[in-house]
Amino acid sequence: MIYVALFLAMILLRLVLTHQSRLRDQTYPIVLAILFLFVAFRLDVGCDWNGYHRHFLSQLDLGFADALAQREPLWWVLVQMVGALGLGYPWLNVVAALIFFAGVHALARKQPDRLGFLILLYPVLILNMPMSGIRQAASIGLMCMGFVAFSNGRAARFTIFTLLATGFHSSAGVFLLLAPLVGHGWIKARLLVAFALAGPGIYLLATGDSAQLALSRYVDTGVDAFGAFYRAALLALTSGLFFLILRPAWQARFPTDHRIVVLGALMMMATLPLIGLSSVIADRIGYFLVPLQATILARIPSLGLGTTGLFLSVAPYAVLLMMLVVWTVHSTHFHYCYLPYDSWLFSMPKIYQLPN
């Protein structure tokens, strides 16, 4: 199967380049481009393909004013722009993938092992978001840029990127509560400000229209996210690994990224009990945390942990490969949404072309 074969090829490539960091960095943009083409130019692939096609068609008869009046207005403006340019629906997937991979690249540039970071994103984040949930994929790309701004101590940039991400997917708004913690000093004072804002912030998020819609759709309704428990469990395991084993070495080796990773790991731990409220809500927040999870796992080889570090470096790839194989072989949901894989890279079907 193409999805497993692609992941295996990337793992083998990373294994071959284990001791060749310069060649890894040179190979990384090639793999990034291949993944972009694989994702962006897919045809009739992804569980949300038809849903987003309906988004596109419904917006064609409306204008920019109508787009701005919608929830998550930046998404609808993007849909409107693609239609206004006379481009067919598949181009919406291309633009969303471009935003996603631009954000991934911005975060990857901060990694000692860019290739490993990208590979670790593939089975969970890349296959589920830019290959299906393209609205949240664009939001995640912008949040990756926000995480970079957080690490660099740029509070205004972090806030701007988070607001932009929220304009595509409202669940990104939860990260606005982290804005007071951006920076590298006065942590106690920043925590006090964060806690002071958390109360009204959480209240506003919980009582807003988007939250009420989410609660009405996903809490006590029987609507569940496929595989949410396993993805949340993987996040929680990564969080536990970070706090129990990796954190001291991490703080010494990567001090500028320590705060955002600690906060991300705490949120990862919280996604597992959140499933008890709603697996969909937990899953949606969890996807935003996968880039931080990959950051933790991809940097293990750089922490100097000896034999333990060697085992922990290999384990994530093995676990993700096992999860991907089980998902692709046994999930009827996967077979319905992702098979067969097809691409329109060289020719878009007329059914998706707009009339001149």
Q: pLDDT tens digits for the chain (356 residues)?
A: 899 999 999 999 999 999 999 999 999 999 999 999 999 999 999 999 999 999 899 988 888 888 888 888 999 999 999 999 999 999 999 999 999 999 999 999 999 999 999 999 999 999 999 999 999 999 999 999 999 999 999 989 999 999 999 999 988 988 988 888 887 665 544 554 544 444 444 444 444 444 434 433 433 334 445 678 889 999 999 999 999 999 999 999 999 999 999 999 999 999 888 887 777 888 889 999 999 999 999 999 999 999 999 999 999 999 999 999 999 999 898 999 999 999 999 899 999 998 86
Query: What is the DSSP track for 241-270?
Result: HIIIIIHHHHHHH-HHHHHHHHHHHHHHHH
> For the chain, how are helix, strand and coil distributed in percent, rounded to 5?
80, 0, 20
Across-strand partners of 42?
343
Confidence at residue 213, expressed as pLDDT on a 0 to 100 scale: 44
- Written as one letter, the residue type at 32 is L
* CA nearest to 166, candidates 190, 142, 130: 142
End-to-end Cα distance, the chain? 38
Contacts of 29 (CB under 8 A, 6+ apart): none
Q: What are phi and psi of 282, to 5 degrees?
A: -60, -40
Question: Where do the H-state alpha helices sit in the chain?
Answer: 2-16, 21-40, 49-60, 64-68, 73-84, 90-108, 114-121, 127-128, 134-151, 155-168, 187-207, 209-218, 228-241, 247-253, 255-274, 279-298, 306-330, 332-338
Name every residue whose Cβ is closer than 8 Å to that of residue 189 and which is 6 or more positions away in sequence: none
Tally of CA atoms within 13 A in the half-sphere of 286 that contains its CB: 31
Q: Distance between CA 40 and CA 34 in Å, rounded?
A: 10
